[in-house]
Amino acid sequence: MGKRQFFTNRQLVSIWACAGPVACAMAQNAVSATTSYPTILVQGKVSEFRQFEKVEITGSSIVRKEQTQALPVQVITRQDIQRRGEESLTEVVQGLTAVFNGLDGTQIGSNQGAMSTAALHGMPNGTLVLLNGKRLAPYAIQTISGKERSSVDLGLVPLSSVERIEVLTDGASTLYGTDAIAGVINIITRTEFNGTEIHVNHGRPRAGAGQGHVVSLNWGLGQMRRDGFSFRLSAEMDQYEALRTADRPGAAQGRVGFEQGGKAYEADSLKLMEYSSPAWLYSPRTTRKAYSGLFMDGACVQGSWSYRNFPGGCRQSLLPTYDIYPERASHKLHWTGEKLLNANATVYAEFLYGKQKEQLAINDWPMISGRVMSTPGSVGYTEMIENGMDPNFGFYYWQPDLRALRQSFDKSQMRALIGLRGELANWDYQANIFQSRSQVKQIHERENYNNLGIFNTGLSSPLMDERLLRPLDANNSLTGQLLNQRFWEPQVTGQTTLTTSEVRASRPWFEIEGKDVMIGWGLEIRREQVASMVNPDLSAATFPPPSFQGTRRNAAAYAEAQIPVKPDWDVIAAIRSDHYNDVGPSHNGKLAIRWRINSRWALRSSIGTGFRAPSIGQVQVVAEPFRNGQTNLKACTEAMEARTRQLVSSTGLPVLCPSNGPASLFTNGNPDLRPEKSTQATLGLAFAPTRNMSVSADYWRVEMRDTLQFESLSAVLADPVAYAAAYMVNPEVRVRNFGTERFHWLGFYLQMQNLGASVKEGVDVDLRYRIPFNSGRLMVGAQATYMITSKEKTNPQAAWSSDLAAYSSITEMVTPRVRGRLMFNWETVHTNWQLNANYNSGYRDKSVRAYNTTDSKFETVEGRRVGSYLTWDLYGGHQVSQSTRLRFGITNITDRKPPLSFYSPTTAVWGVNSQNNSLLGRRIQLGVTFKY
């Protein structure tokens, strides 16, 4: 018979059934340090593999037996995910109230590519995503010219392997280094699972458009505490059809009517074109100036709109040819294993591989325009004569209205890890080495009109083929020929590789009034590699970024101490130093307190600094500046003309300022970029009056300085002397006056620099209340983020620009004032039901150029209010038998459409905002889970 004291006063863990991010962590430490407990005697032999469980909390380097936490960590358990009916990691993360304005599937055509990202408090470039506390390789397509940072693609991690998700809504650079300014999302996979589990789910949106399914397999063998080993395998496959804009006509409006200030307006989409199919004929020298095959019986046919000021002309909207959400297929595999070597050492390993292919119809077919021949019998001649137009001055404009050309992304994410953890000389240690790799191949669909013989090259190309004057339907042979002339062409191939070695350790140091002073430290070495290969044959009109390769090395050391100043008052201090070989060092610290005021109230607070390193691409320099866009200049000033005359071209040709014309913008990487810096502060208060109720509120504030911004073009134009270095020669040789004059246009060279600043602050609220009944248990929960400030400026002299509840042309987005979720859950032994209400507050819309039908004139409409958006979801589950469980769900029960909005991060829709608002509409889900 042996004797062992399992718990001392300082090791006692209080059991607290709550889910609030503040109340749960603090209430677990509400046990008085003066309470005594009898010694527990253990008879017989203790199991060989029995170990005390120790907790590693996101945001801390200290391993401890107690769940002590002075930082705002919200935990989403596997049970929470199942109750909500979410079927992908992207859905779970982007559904959190504190996450908004990240990238989603509707933005596949953006320069960020096809990734779905997390954005805590609307900061996608300050949110760090971890898997089991370790980094993943960032998205593989990076650029020299973009302001975006490297982010993790959520779509490549299987949700079936997730045990819980810990969300730290406070900066954590002192532990994790770069990118953790807004917070950390730590995805933690399943650890204790034995047997086999198969899950199948099918989701069907309204009318069946965009439907898909998920199939997953989980297998586990062994338990560490019983067997001394465990192995777990998760495999997941999903496949979804594209949701086409034509399937959601409310998102594909070519012309939108609305009222503002007591007047009626009509706003046209940018995709409402005079180029159409059938071709649009135009003559500037006749009374009736336009003819379109879309004009019948005195009006434009459905799906087209009249062209004001051109009787008989109809404009065609390209939006119905686009996709909103991509066609997607994924395969994901995650394996973990651990083996107890002895009582104080465990070896563990992990392997992740995810592969996904996404396709989205988003690119327009090329336009064709030219002259209508004035010869009788030529194509288009009769149509112009019959409609009162002069074929001697006739032009045509044609563009196919077939399904848009597609973009495709083949993506993969791999990570392999091996490590050792245990206890040595009273130190809890963990050492590991891992490598993660992200790969993306982007290709797009092109066409080849030249093989069809439908036009001659040049702007004066005569109309040659009468099929251009007929609809592209099954009766037109040109339709099939066009579709057969499509081909796939590579755009960009990218790869990022992250290799990391780290070791960390923690232990009790000494006692203060019976509580341990805990200390921890760690060392980390990272090597990052990026390669981006761009197809050199891409059209210069698309401004393709150049190819590049880069490598970065970083070494970091950090330390942390948890000091119990009083029995109910802990202070936590942390410091970290990072040394990059390319952008220099960064040193950051953090101080936090946790105070249990009494048995019901608890308080916590923190203040610290953080940083975000420039991406590897942003500090690369290629041989020559490259074109990054263009601007339309007004009249060149005398100072601009004087600076232009000072420029000398390598060809010896003169350089001219393009007054009232387009000027090209050039850029390059900047090796002098420094890390962006931040200061974060939080203040949290928790109230737990009973075991069944908890309320918490966390105020937070993030101030950033030295943010990366391009030099201001307006400043460059206003002061050519101060910004003389920004004036350059456009290397393209131009010709005018029938080829007699050759010259260069003036160009502008704008580099990215550490010029800007931003401030975000708000309050996160969490409320949980449960009521037990004899027949079951009712749980009511509410979560919300209330934004107080969201503003940015591009340089020290610029004014602050706010996007809080209003569109900002600086940030090009809207930050919602309130984002919340209300949850009602009813559970019995075999059945559960959950009803969710999801809320996004309204905002002031992006200005729009619209036609005032009251006064018959065009105006710029500003200050229009967009209403709030509320949807309801219902999910249920029933345990049919010990091995079988059925699931059912309806998302957006009332099929609520998003309100009218002229702001949206994607060009595939018009009149609705796709960000934070799903355009799938009502969606029914059915699922079944088998366990063996």
The 3-state DSSP class for residue 364 equals: coil
What amino acid is encoded at 233 in this protein?
L
Give residue 41's pLDDT. Answer: 46
Number of domains in the chain: 3
Beta-strand ranges (E) seen in 304-381 are 304-306, 314-317, 323-325, 327-342, 345-363, 368-371
Whether 812 and 828 map to the same domain: the answer is: yes
C-alpha to C-alpha distance for 895 and 727, rounded to whole angstroms: 54
Does residue 22 form part of some domain? yes
Within 13 Å and on the Cβ side, how many CA atoms surround 877?
A: 24
Q: Indicate which CATH number applies to the domain containing 850.
A: 2.40.170.20
Cis peptide before 564 (omega within 30 of 0): no
Asked whether residue 600 falls in the same domain as residue 643, the answer is: no
Closest by alpha carbon to 536, among 545, 526, 527? 545
Residue ranges in the chain modelled with pLDDT below 70: 1-55, 64-70, 106-113, 147-149, 288, 456-460, 539-542
- The answer to whether position 257 is within a domain reads no
Radius of gyration, alpha carbons of the chain: 31
**For position 66, what pLDDT does the model report?**
55
Q: Does residue 774 sit in the same domain as residue 911? A: yes
Measured distance CA(412)–CA(352) in Å, rounded: 10
Q: Which pLDDT score, from 0 to 100, does residue 298 have? A: 82
Q: What is the pLDDT of residue 43?
A: 47
Q: Which of 786, 787, 725, 789 is closest to 757 using CA atoms?
A: 789
* Phi, psi dihedral angles at 451 (to 5 degrees): -80, -5
907 domain-assigned = yes
Residue 449 is classified by DSSP as G
Residues 511 and 388 in one domain: no
Same domain? For 207 and 298 the reply is: no
262, part of any domain: no
For the entire predicted model, the pTM comes to 0.90
145 and 225 fall within a common domain: yes
φ and ψ of 654, to 5 deg: -70, 160
Assigned token pair, 444: 């797009």
Q: Of 889, 667, 912, 755, which is closest to residue 87 (Cα–Cα)?
A: 889
Distance between CA atoms of residues 794 and 800, nearest Å: 8
Judgement on whether residues 347 and 371 belong to the same structural domain of the protein: no
Structural domain harbouring 741: 626-667+716-749
348 plus 435 within the same structural domain: yes
* Residue 669, CB-side half-sphere exposure with 13 Å CA sphere: 23
Specify if 34 maps to a domain: no
Does residue 138 contact residue 148 with C-beta atoms inside 8 Å? Answer: no
Same structural domain for residues 651 and 682? no
CA dist 632 and 612 (Å) reads 34
Looking at the structure, tell me whether residues 733 and 756 fall in a common domain: no
| Helix, strand, coil fractions of the chain, as percent rounded to 5 | 10, 50, 40
135, 237: one domain: yes
Same domain, 782 and 926: yes
1 within domain boundaries: no
Q: How far apart are CA 304 and CA 722, in angstroms?
A: 51
